[in-house]
Each structure stands twice: as structure tokens, then as C-alpha cells.
Amino acid sequence: MPDATKTTAAEAVAETPVAAKVVDGGEASGKPRSLWGDAWRDLRRRPLFVISAALIVVLILVAAFPGLFTDANPESGDLQNHFLEKPNLGHFFQADWFGYDRQGRSIYARVIFGARNSIMVGLGVTILVTAFGGLVGMLAGYFGGFWDSLLSRIVDVFFGIPFLLGAMVVLNAFTDRTAMVIIGALAFLGWTQIARVMRGAVITTKHADYVMAAKALGAGTGRILFRHILPNALAPVIVVATISLGTYIVAESTLSFLGLGFGNDSFSWGSDISDALNDIRNNPHTLIFPAGMLSITVLAFIMMGDAVREALDPKLR
Amino acid sequence: MTITDKTADVPAPRSGEEKSGRLLDVKDLHVEFHTRDGVVKAVNGVNYSVDAGETLAVLGESGSGKSVTAQAIMGILDMPPGKIPQGEILFRGQDMLKMSNEERRKIRGRKIAMIFQDALSSLNPVLSVGYQLGEMFRVHDGLSRKEAKAKSIELMDRVKIPAAKERVNDYPHQFSGGMRQRIMIAMALALEPDLIIADEPTTALDVTVQAQVMDLLAELQREYNMGLILITHDLGVVADVADKIAVMYAGRIVETAPVHELYKRPAHPYTRGLLDSIPRLDQKGHELYAIKGLPPNLLKIPSGCAFNPRCPKATDICRTEVPPLVPVTEQDGAELVGRGSACHFWKETIHG
């Protein structure tokens, strides 16, 4: 099943220039047009992409500079004044906008400060997974034979471990669960999908005539791999990586919810959701806001992934 | 950048072969592919040679082993499944089959370059044409990006691509088929190699463009005094450009001859069949001749002469004995330079 999807994606990428030419009608627009250039032009005109990109930019700003969005301290609560105070939806960007939690802490501030850990884990895992999984997949696909068998079996072994269950087991072994530890644990279990996609894409690309031509004109293995094969095999990998970024954020929240992610000394939407469970009926606002932020974030990345996939894969149009 | 200083930087050990002047000498080359169905004998003892400034056309049907021979010379055969059980490929007297991968890689592009059939799929779609041309200079000569670009523009002018300066950053899909093939030629020519192998360079092009591309190739070859191996199945293309022809059938050379000799008096029934199957204006209304049957299955090549099941002149000896490539002579025994035929009945074929 995954084989089928990745092959079509890779083929589609190879055909993109042809499709672009047809659209262009051979009329020289004056500017050279690469695959990525075409994809970018296409993306900019997609509402799905524009909306998700705007959301992601805001989220990244929030993650990087939470102080810009709130003055309230997410850690210090005032039980006397703010115990479970209801949201005050008219007070934009103020401490009581989303109300207060059981400890009297501003939910708005906690939601804002929680973004950093989620985004950091999402991005960190994606970067690690793409680099490592991509490298393994590329080597397996390009060298084939013994190396392919060896690496593919290792991939299969890791693929067999349930992602969340595996992460729970791994994280259970750590008492001090910093962002690095969580990123490491998720990447350790999550790299196989990218490796498989990359392997498939490299196998379809390595038989291309231009790879043969590059060889015949004296290019070495490194140049062939990184200059000629990688750019042509990258598109399906980017699509999978963007979409799975959202799932890593979900995974982090789930782990925090279960008490195996970020601890109480840190901020995480997952642990806030977990805290809110105690009295959802009386105080639903303690659940709705962190859960809503989580959903919006994941949605933004998945929408982005879809938009990128459509831009890189003209067959889906 | 003249021819003389180019030959000067060729590795030193080439004392004896200087006399023979052979640029490339393929000797008794065999190539097989080990597949699930058995051993496919794609090339079975090919001998040919090319001198500087000379054009050798290798003619044959699909599957006759002409492209595989070229790939073996370039060292870009997929091995496995490919295997070279015996033979020598001497480039300036040095056997390339005995060289290390690194040594061979240094020869590719710099000393021997190749032009492929389908220029669109032979150019990387995500890299601009200028980048791909410039890559030759950056990899082999270590030039900077800027210098390489300037060189690329020069090359594109060389192969007569209009507005080279404006188009250097364009991508392959923005060029027409003929222009793409010119870019392939430019890439092959970039480092002024001693030998170019063109594997059906015009097959993917329409007829008018074919002529332009062939003229360009011939002109550049003369200018640089390169050896050229032209692989084709198009007898029309060959006639104008080649100096000598080697006809291949089932992985062997069945006839060699200077180009005009071959058209005038073929010495092998297969060559005769090929020539007879060219449509001719003076035979309008007649049925076009075709060689009966199919090319042999390379898994089980017929015993004796591989062509015997399709040959109108085949007799018992053709089914049992493999005919060697023998020199062809005039009826009175006078030598015909460069001619050879692998047919038991070459005398009857050429003189009768």
C-alpha cells in the first residue's frame, strides 16, 4: 500500500515539468522555471496553503516569542482571586481572555507558552526523522543488493514497534524528560516511514536516463546521489514529512496527557488537557482552549502538507 | 585549448601504440547478462577500432548489442547483472577493463564522452541547463560557479543555441527536442574529449532536425579532430557522416567496410537485406523488401551463423560452423582495405 502511493508521487514529480510546459503553452514567460519554482507559484495561489502558512507563521511567532502575546505569568496562579474563573471573551489578549484554571493560572498564558514545546517537538522530530530516515532510505535505495536487504530489515524491525506504545516504554526510562529526550524518543521510533518513502523514490529515480548520463560524463557517486537523485526524489519525502509533523505534535500531547511527556515544571497542551479532565462538566473552558489550540496547530500542518502534495503532484488536480 | 596540448596531458605510458595510432581498440569483447531465465549473451566477441578524427558507424537492429558495447566502453553497464567474461577495451593502448573505478571515472567525460538517444530524459529536470553544463567544468576542472557559467554560455553558442546568454538558466523542459539534443552534445563536448560515443543521437528527433544535429556533430568532430562512434539503425544517417561501418548482428560484427564500399557491394547477406529494405523512389508501387523472421533470442543464439534461420542463402555449413570475420578481397585476390565479412559465402555475396 505505501509502495503504491510513493511510486505515483515520485512519477508525478518526474512529470511535473512536462505538465508545466503544457500549461505554459511554450510561451516564454521570461523567467526560468524549475520544479520548485513552479510548485511555489502554484502554492501561492492556493487558499489552503495561504491559510495554513499564515497559521503556521503565527504559531511559530508564538512559540519563539511568547512574551509578545501575553504579559501574564503562566506559572504563578492566584487561587484566591482566579480559581476557575470563566473566560472573558471580550478581553482580547489579556490574562483572563480564556479564563483561569484550578490553580488560578491564566489559561491564555498557558496556551501561549505551551506552543513552544509542541512546535519544538514537532519540528525537531521532523528534522531528525527526515535527515536520518532520508539518509537510510537513500543508501538502501541507491546501493541496493546486500545494503538494501540489511537496511530494509532494520527499517522493518523499527516499523513493527507501535509508535506510541514504544515511545511510552522509552520515555518511561527517563526521569528528566526534557524536549531533547522527547524529540529523541519520537524520532527513534518514527524514522521508518520517511526511510521507506525515500527508498522508493530513489529507486525510481536512479534508473532515470539522466543519472546514467551523469555517470557517463564522469560524475562521482556523491555527486550523483546528492545533486542528481536527491532533488528528484525529495518531493514525496517533503509531503510525508509535512503531514507527519502534525502527528508528532499529537504524539507529544498524548504522551504529556499520559504523564510521560513534559512534566509539571514545563508547559504542554497535553498536560493541560489532562489537568482539565477532572471537571469538564463544570469548567469546560479549561479543556476547550488547550485542546482547540492543539487541533488548530495540527490542522495547519496537515493542510500545509496537503497543499504541498497537490502542488508537487499534478496528477491529483 | 588546441588538440596538441590536449593529447599532451594524457597519461604517459603509451609508447608502442603510438605507431598504430589507435584511439580506441575493442578486442574480442564479450558481455553477458545473468538473468533468471539464463545467460543472455548480448555481445559475443566484438572487435572494432577508431582513430582520432575518424567516424565509425555501428549499425544494427535493436538487441544486436551495439548499445551494450558502447556501455561497456563507457563503463556504465549495470554489473551485476552484466558481466564481461573476456575481452579488452584499449584506450590509447591501456586496457580500461583493468583500471580502477576511479581511473575509469576520470576518463569518462574528459577523454570519452557519450551522447544519449533521448535528450529529455537524459537531462536532469530539476537542474537548469547552465548548471548541468557547468557541472562538467566544476567537477573535472574545479572551476568556480561563475567561470563555469561563462563556459556554459560559450558552449551553448558553440552548438548554435540561439540567445544562449538568456537561456542558460532555463530548465530542460523549456527547450525543444533538437535544442535539448544540442545541449547533450554540448555536455559531451565540454571537456573536448578524444572520443565521443553517440548512441542513436537523432532517433528521438524529427527528420529535419536530425539532419541539423548530425551536421553539427560532424562539424564539431572535424573541428576538434575527435574519434566518433555513431551507433544507429538508420542507414541514411550513416551514409553522410561515417568513414567506416561495422554491422552488428546478435552481438557479433558481421561485416566491416568503408562507408561507400558497403553501400555499393555488401559482403554479407544481412547487410544486403538491410540495404534492400530501404524504400526507393524507383521502386514505387513494388512491395518493400523486409528481412524475414525476427532477431534471435539472445538466450539461445542459433548454432553456427546466428543469421542462418533468416538467411536466404543458408546451407548446412551455416547451421554448424560459426563463420569468422575474414578479410574480403577482390575476385583476383587484391586486398580491399578495411573490409571484412563473417559469412561462409562472402565471395558469392559480394561478387555474385
Q: Is the pLDDT of residue B64 over 60?
A: yes
SS3 B39: strand
Specify which of A79-93, B17-31, B237-251 reaches the highest per-range mean pLDDT.
B237-251
Judge contact between B240 and B207, C-beta under 8 A: no
- The pLDDT value given to residue A32: 63
- The pLDDT value given to residue A30: 55
Contacts of B127 in chain A (CB under 8 A): 227-228, 231
Mutate which: A29, A210, A217, vs B, most B CBs within 10 A = A217
B133 shares a domain with B58: yes
Pick from B220, B242, B264: which residue ends a domain?
Answer: B242
B269 shares a domain with B154: no
Which residue of chain A has the CA closest to B102? A220
Q: In chain A, how many H helices and how many E strands?
A: 14, 0
Which residue of chain A has the CA closest to B112? A217
B115 shares a domain with B15: yes
A-B CB pairs within 8 A amount to 89
- The pLDDT value given to residue A58: 93
The C-alpha cell of A161 is what?
514497534
The band of A278, judged by pLDDT with boundaries at 50, 70 and 90, is confident
Q: Is the pLDDT of residue B67 over 90?
A: no
The CA distance from A233 to the nearest CA of chain B, in Å, is 10
Q: Is the pLDDT of residue A147 over 60?
A: yes
B299 shares a domain with B232: no
A215/B170 Cβ within 8 A? no
The band of A296, judged by pLDDT with boundaries at 50, 70 and 90, is very high
- Pick among 1.10.760.10, 3.40.50.2300, 1.10.3720.10, 3.90.220.20: CATH of A2-26+33-316: 1.10.3720.10
B262 shares a domain with B215: no
- Taking the alpha carbons of B141, B144, B149, B154 in that order, is the dihedral positive or negative? negative
Q: Report the percentage of chain B scoring pLDDT > 70.
A: 94
B257 shares a domain with B215: no
**Domain span at residue B173?**
3-242
Q: What is the dihedral of CA A264, A266, A272, A277, to 10 degrees?
A: -20
B183 shares a domain with B69: yes
A33/B74 Cβ within 8 A? no
> 0.80 exceeded by the pTM?
no
B121/A209 Cβ within 8 A? yes
Asked if A67 reaches chain B (Cβ–Cβ under 8 Å), the answer is no
pLDDT digit string (tens) for A198-251? 999 999 888 888 888 888 888 888 888 988 898 888 888 988 998 899 999 999
Asked if A32 reaches chain B (Cβ–Cβ under 8 Å), the answer is yes
Q: Cα dist. B219→A12, A236, B159, B184, B282 in Å?
A: 39, 44, 10, 16, 32
Q: Is the pLDDT of residue B3 over 60?
A: no
pLDDT digit string (tens) for B77-133? 877 788 888 888 888 888 888 888 888 888 888 888 888 888 778 888 888 888 888
Pick from B208, B242, B276: which residue ends a domain?
Answer: B242
Contacts of A32 in chain B (CB under 8 A): 128, 169-171, 174
The CA distance from B179 to the nearest CA of chain A, in Å, is 14
The CA distance from A302 to the nearest CA of chain B, in Å, is 26
DSSP A286-302: HHHHHHHHHHHHHHHHH
Domain map (residue ranges) of chain A: 2-26+33-316
pLDDT digit string (tens) for B282-338? 877 888 888 888 888 888 888 888 888 888 888 888 888 888 888 888 877 777 888
The band of A314, judged by pLDDT with boundaries at 50, 70 and 90, is low
- The pLDDT value given to residue A17: 43
Instruction: Give the number of domains in chain B.
Output: 2
A215/B128 Cβ within 8 A? no
Which residue of chain A has the CA closest to B117? A209
Q: What's the average model confidence in pLDDT over B217-222?
A: 86
Contacts of B126 in chain A (CB under 8 A): 34-36, 231-232
B291 shares a domain with B142: no
Pick from B242, B273, B289: which residue ends a domain?
Answer: B242
Q: What's the average model confidence in pLDDT over B42-64?
A: 87
Q: What mean pLDDT is reported for chain A? A: 83
B74/A231 Cβ within 8 A? no
B302 shares a domain with B224: no
**Long-range Cβ contacts of B274-277 (<8 Å, 24+ apart):** B274/B59, B274/B235, B274/B247, B275/B235
Q: What's the average model confidence in pLDDT over B269-292?
A: 84
Among the partner-chain residues B74, B140, B169, the one whose CB lies closest to the CB of A216 is B74
Contacts of A235 in chain B (CB under 8 A): none
Domain containing residue B27: CATH number: 3.40.50.300
B254 shares a domain with B160: no
Distance CA A60, CA A76 (A): 24
pLDDT digit string (tens) for B121-173? 888 888 888 888 888 888 888 888 888 888 889 888 888 888 888 888 888 88
Buried b (16+ CB within 10 A) or exposed e, A78-90: eeeebebbebeee
Residue B81: what residue type?
Answer: P
pLDDT digit string (tens) for A120-132? 999 999 999 999 9
B150 shares a domain with B107: yes
Among the partner-chain residues B123, B139, B170, the one whose CB lies closest to the CB of A219 is B139
B275 shares a domain with B166: no
Q: If you compute the radius of gyration of chain B from its CA atoms, what whole number of angstroms results?
A: 21
The C-alpha cell of B95 is what?
586496457
* Extended strands (E) in chain B: 22-35, 38-51, 55-59, 82-83, 88-91, 94-95, 112-115, 195-199, 227-232, 244-249, 252-258, 326-329, 335-341
Q: What's the average model confidence in pLDDT over B32-51?
A: 87
Q: Is the pLDDT of residue B37 over 50?
A: yes
The band of A54, judged by pLDDT with boundaries at 50, 70 and 90, is very high
